[in-house]
Structure 1
């Protein structure tokens, strides 16, 4: 009897490094799920800001409804229209990739500046091709949103279950910020997937995802701990990278849903 892989959870992370949104369905596009990491915070030098330096960013919770995004942080709220922007291009970088973005509006930037405690602004990527990422493994360039490297991250359920068996304090998938979680029976079997389809969406596996210190940030508290990177490094380290989950690209756009079956 062949193994059946079912979509268990779907997530988008509208603003890079802020909290994510659990979805029942999501539109898969070339640059990532619709509204996934289309926005990011940059400092006064237009350098992107992440939980690596500011773990408390995990405490900013976005929601999208009726064309607006609402951000909740502690007892504060702010909202803006997802389509609004000031239009003037800003040259920024996501790691080594040049990224052309635009500021959302001055009021939103001022709100984040007040909450975070230093000058920053919220910017958005508008067009396909405004940020490109080159895979050294494939010698191929992809159109990506503002995600670290690739448009999608997929994790199998058994990979987390296997890790939690080794941890004293159990964790959830939220540590790893996946876009797609599927039911699996063998830990890390997702690393070896090739091309597959979910609903009418077609995907291709690019490579296992190397993890950084950010997975040690407990997203529910914004506090950095020693795990799970310490334990993962004992059995998932290859050369100088620790792997968990795998990076995908989308070859054909479509809506995918929790409960969909993966077809090879």
Structure 2
């Protein structure tokens, strides 16, 4: 029987995530997941794709504080429940959504480490960002994720990929939210609906991968792997795929060790042998 073996929350889009043993789920996904984001002067989101050093900024949550830490800098302490700030319209790929600024002190701290002008914004609780209606239902929403509130990957999918590599890579390269153990490699390619602790999930499409898995999360150095191996083994229709995007049908709580029930399966997506 598959089980939920790892849970990751990424409070700030494209910064380091947090491994947790249990975590609440709200309308946007895992609580506080991608609630904050960095934007440039044009209000477009920033990520490791253009700023690999973002990987070196660690995040942690303590009591009512979000704490960022980076080499050579004092910690940046932010309120976990922000309020106020200036309203700003921000861009995430082709989406435009409303956000609010955090503080000039946060902008200066991040800009100094990343050596670029940027602003930290947060997703207000009263704003709804709808998920792409080609794959979602009208009530599905997310905060500042690329497009879906969850990414699901199985442990054995990573094991299968690592067998193609001279130097194995960690799951952190792929920034999943939910990792599943005790199933075959790439079993998630067939899953359409699953249930974990009374929360139903729909898996409408596979996750196409950009350059981020090629960035070492511990050093921020770009490598040709694992993208070269993915290009050989997991390429379809001009893109490479690893993991499945997922949507949830209700709020609740998830914990490591929860049973993963496969409610519906189908043909592989993408259709790889």
- Name the TM tier (shorter chain): over 0.9
Distance 2:137 2:251 in 1: 23
Structure 1 length as normaliser, TM-score? 0.94
1:51 aligns with 2:48: yes
Q: 1:122 to 1:249 in 2, by over 3 A?
A: same
Provide structure 1 residue ranges, at least 5 long, that are not aligned to the other structure: none
Which runs of structure 2 are paired with 1:93-108 in the superposition (5 Å)?
A: 93-108=91-106
Question: Which residue in 2 is equivalent to 1:131?
Answer: 129
Q: Structure 2 length normalisation: TM-score?
A: 0.91
RMSD: 1.6
Name the structure 1 match of 2:266.
none
Q: 1:255 aligns with which of 238, 253, 256?
A: 253
Map 1:2-41 → 2, pairs under 5 A: 4-41=1-38
1:133-192 per-residue CA deviation (whole Å, 9 max, x = no partner) reads 314356867311101111000001110010011100100100000000011432111121
**Aligned residue for 1:191?**
189
Q: Which residue of 1 aligns with 2:270?
A: none
Contact 1:6/1:183, CA 8 A, preserved across alignment: yes
Between the aligned partners of 1:240 and 1:169, the Cα distance in structure 2 is 26
Q: How far apart are the structure 2 equivalents of 1:24 and 1:138?
A: 28
> Secondary structure of 1:175's match?
helix
Contact 1:134–1:141 (CA<8 Å) still a contact in 2? no
* Offset, 1:109: 1.5
Distance 1:75 1:112 in 2: 12
Higher strand share: 1
Where does the alignment leave 5 or more consecutive residues of structure 2 unmatched? 264-273
Q: 8 Å contact 2:136–2:247 — kept in the other structure?
A: no
Aligned length: 261
CA distance in 1, matches of 2:71, 2:200: 39
Q: What CA distance in whole angstroms lies between the structure 2 residues aligned with 1:55 and 1:172?
A: 17
Q: Does residue 1:146 correspond to 2:183, yes or no?
A: no
